[in-house]
Amino acid sequence: MSNIYQFDAQLNNGETVSFAQWQQQVLLVVNTASACGFTPQYQGLEKLQQQFGEQGFSVLAFPCNQFGKQEKGNDEEVKNFCDLNFNISFPLFKKVDVNGAEALPMYRWLKQQKGGVLGSRIKWNFTKFLLNSKGEVVKRYAPTTKPEQIAGDIEKLLS
């Protein structure tokens, strides 16, 4: 598979969506958690969404409980947490696995495209993948990379 558009996933409300609906957009795919030291990055992710959303950009957030059990809530609780604390406007998906046998197929593909410190495994919450408007992975960012540090890369892809 050469791009993300062949995949689908379930939104937080249970609706299955195809990534084809984001064709021609620059995407930032992030595995998130509500009780992590990096959770305040939700604020920066929303800022990127506000800054670039109308130019053809979207954050796609995938809650994950595989790292330190830091996303314990059910899908409704995760959504309520994000709405209450960060008022996010970008798509929030159902909780997924990003590593192991049960990993979401789209995440297996992302990791094949851009390995990280642990090879093809995701190291921790808030690992980020930047995709160009052709649905190709162009960069992978560590959890410690703050969303505002990615703004310049997004701008380049949008221009």
Contact 109, 4 (CB under 8 A): yes
Facing residues of 97 across strands?
A: 103
Active site residue 36: yes
Record: fold of 4-158: Glutaredoxin (3.40.30)
Cβ-based neighbours of 147, under 8 Å, separated by 6 or more: 28, 41, 44, 45, 47, 48, 128
* Alpha-carbon span 111 to 128, nearest angstrom: 11
Cβ-based neighbours of 82, under 8 Å, separated by 6 or more: 34, 42, 61, 88, 92
Confidence category of residue 1, pLDDT binned at 50, 70, 90: low
| Per-residue tokens: 25 | 């957009």
Which percentage of the chain shows pLDDT scores above 70?
A: 97
36-46 residue pLDDT tens:
888 999 999 99
User: Once rounded to an integer, what is the mean pLDDT over residues 31-39?
Assistant: 90
Specify the pLDDT at position 115.
76
Residues found in the chain? 159
Q: At what angle do helices 75-86 and 41-52 cross, to 10 degrees?
A: 70
* Alpha-carbon span 26 to 131, nearest angstrom: 6
CA 135 from chain centre, in angstroms, equals 14
Specify the pLDDT at position 114.
80
Specify the pLDDT at position 42.
94
118-139 residue pLDDT tens:
567 898 999 999 999 999 999 9
More confident position, 114 or 16: 16
Confidence category of residue 2, pLDDT binned at 50, 70, 90: confident
Contact 114, 139 (CB under 8 A): yes
Amino acid at 111: K
Domain boundaries, the chain: 4-158
- Look over the chain and give the mean of its residue pLDDT values, rounded to a whole number: 93
DSSP H or E stretch at residue 24: none
| Per-residue tokens: 101 | 């046998």
CA distances to 23, 114, 150, 151 from 39, in Å: 28, 23, 17, 18
Out of 26, 27, 28, 36, the active site residue is 36
Confidence category of residue 29, pLDDT binned at 50, 70, 90: very high
* Alpha-carbon span 57 to 22, nearest angstrom: 9
More confident position, 44 or 2: 44
User: Once rounded to an integer, what is the mean pLDDT over residues 50-67?
Assistant: 96
